[in-house]
Every structure is written in C-alpha cells, then in structure tokens.
Amino acid sequence: MTLSHQLIGDGNRIQKNTCEVAQDVLRMGALVEELFRYSHQALFRGELDRVSLIVQQDKEVDRYYRQIEMRCATILTLQAPVAQELRIISAFMQLVRDLERIGDYAKDLGNIAIRLTLYPPHPCMPKLAMMSQKAQIMLAKAMVALSELDGEAGKKIKLLDDSVDSAYDELYRTLAHQRDIKGVVEPIILLALATRHLERMADHATNIAQRVSYIVTGNRD
C-alpha cells in the first residue's frame, strides 16, 4: 500500500482534494529535509551562506504549514471524510506541525552556526555531526514511511531515536562537566543548545513516523 494507491483510488472528490494536499505535504517535507541539510552544512562545514537561504526558505515552510492546515480543515468540514481518509487528513494536520517545528529548529541551528564561527571548533563537534546525520536519516525515513504508508516504520524509527537520545545524554555530560574553561562560556552554551535542538528534531521525526502508523493501523501508540 502506498500513498498514491490510497489517494488515487476511484478518484472521487475527497480523494482528489486529499491528493493535492498530500503533494503539498510531501513538498513541505522535502523542503524541511533540505533546511535540515543546509543547517548541517552551515554548522559542520562552515558554509555560512546557507544560513540566509534557510531563513528565506523557512518562510516558505510556514506558508505551506498554514496553507495545508487550512485546506485540511476545509476538507474536514465540507466533505466529511470517513475511515482512512479521515485518519490521513487528521494525521496531515498534526504532521505538518512537526515539520514546521523541525524547520524552525533548522533555522536556530543556522544562527548558532554563525555565532559559533567566532570560536575555535570544539572537540565534540564530530559527535554532534554524527547526531545531526542520524536525525536527518530519521526524518528521511519518516518521509519514506509516509509515501509508502509503512505502518511498521514508527517502531523502527523509535529505535533510531533511542540512539539519538543516548548521544544527547553523552554530549550533555561532556559539555556540562567541563572544567577549567578558558574565556567565555558562549560556545558551550551554543553547543548545548544545538544538541538539544537536534534531539528535538529527532523527536519530531519520530512523531511523524508514528502518525504514519496511525494512518495505517488506526492505533495511536
């Protein structure tokens, strides 16, 4: 079962409208993934020109968010979908919120990247890069799960989320227990914020995958 199978079906009006919304959701997902990648490049490869792009694209993400929410509400009230279609629409409405949050965090990461350039690179950067990579893979998996309508993905991504969480704990410990800091503490605060953001992004990716499971099975777990 894939999203297209579900949406094209016998081609009635609800399905046609849902299909259009689904396209926008996928588009927004692709854009958010891109923002995440840009923030990664800004943070770990010093490509700071990405940051202005992120800020610009984030506005686009917000626009998609509002538009999708509006259209979902219109479909819900005017066409009264039932069963799986209802689940798709309600999952979309929540899922775009998660995507929008990830976009916001990507923007914050970009700003952190700019401020971090003033300081020498911290030894825990490679770990942070690994964490960011993992969170990106989680988001990619969640998006694949959405287009495949893979009900099992939620559990798989939860496993990945556990590894991101443990990376977060580890990084937090290294950062918090540092002694004899020379100069200002700003870089450490920034890094702690960045790890926190990445952890939140991974959480939102997990949420997306779980909403996909909800579309397929109808259970919230």
Partner 1 sequence: MIYFLLGLAMGLIFHLHRWRRLDQQLDDILYNTLGISPLTSLSKIPQIKRGINSLQNELNHAKLQILTYHELIDNLPLGYLRIDANNRLIDCNKQARILLNINRWNPDFFRLFLELVRSYELDQLIQQTRLSQEKLTLEWQFFPELNSVLDGGETEESPDVSPLFLKAYSFPLEGGEVALFIENQTQLRELLKRKEEFYSDLSHELRTPLTSMLLLSETLLSHTDEKGKFWLKQLNREINRLADLVKNWLEIYQLENNPYEVLKVEIVELQEIIKSSWHSLEILAQEKQITLDYLPEEDIYLEGDSHRLTQVFINLFDNSIKHCQPGGKIRVEARVKIHQEGNKQVEIDIIDTGSGFNPEDLPHVFERLYRGEKSRGRKDRGGSGLGLSIVKQIIVAHGGKITAQNHPEKGAWIQIIMPLKQAKKQNNSKNCQDENDKLQ
- Out of 14, 15, 29, 116, point to the residue binding partner 1 (CB under 8 A): 29
- Phi, psi values for residue 189, rounded to 5°: -60, -45
For position 46 contacting partner 1 by CB under 8 A, the verdict is yes
Smallest distance, partner 1 to C-beta of residue 88, A: 14
Residue 109 or 177 with smaller CB distance to partner 1: 109
- Out of 13, 70, 78, 133, point to the residue binding partner 1 (CB under 8 A): 133
**C-beta atoms surrounding 55 within 10 Å:** 13
For position 117 contacting partner 1 by CB under 8 A, the verdict is yes
**C-beta atoms surrounding 168 within 10 Å:** 18
For position 84 contacting partner 1 by CB under 8 A, the verdict is no
Smallest distance, partner 1 to C-beta of residue 9, A: 13
Query: Cα–Cα distance between 114 and 110 in angstroms, integer?
Result: 7
The stretch among 86-94, 129-137, 170-178, 206-214 that binds partner 1 (CB under 8 A) is 129-137
For position 163 contacting partner 1 by CB under 8 A, the verdict is yes
* 142 closest CA partner among 110, 186, 87, 95: 95
DSSP 3-state of 190: helix
Query: Cα–Cα distance between 98 and 92 in angstroms, integer?
Result: 10
Smallest distance, partner 1 to C-beta of residue 77, A: 25
- Out of 81, 102, 107, 141, point to the residue binding partner 1 (CB under 8 A): 141
Smallest distance, partner 1 to C-beta of residue 188, A: 15
Residue 115 or 173 with smaller CB distance to partner 1: 115
| Residue length of the chain | 221
Distance of CA 23 to the CA centre of its chain: 17
Query: Cα–Cα distance between 137 and 56 in angstroms, integer?
Result: 24
Residue 20 or 178 with smaller CB distance to partner 1: 20
For position 30 contacting partner 1 by CB under 8 A, the verdict is yes
* 40 closest CA partner among 117, 132, 176: 132
* 3 closest CA partner among 151, 218, 204: 151
Residue 16 identity (one-letter amino acid): K
**Footprint of partner 1 on this chain (CB under 8 A)?**
2-5, 19, 22-23, 26-27, 29-31, 33-34, 37, 46, 48-49, 52, 114-115, 117-118, 130, 133-134, 136-137, 140-141, 143-144, 147-148, 156, 159-160, 163, 183
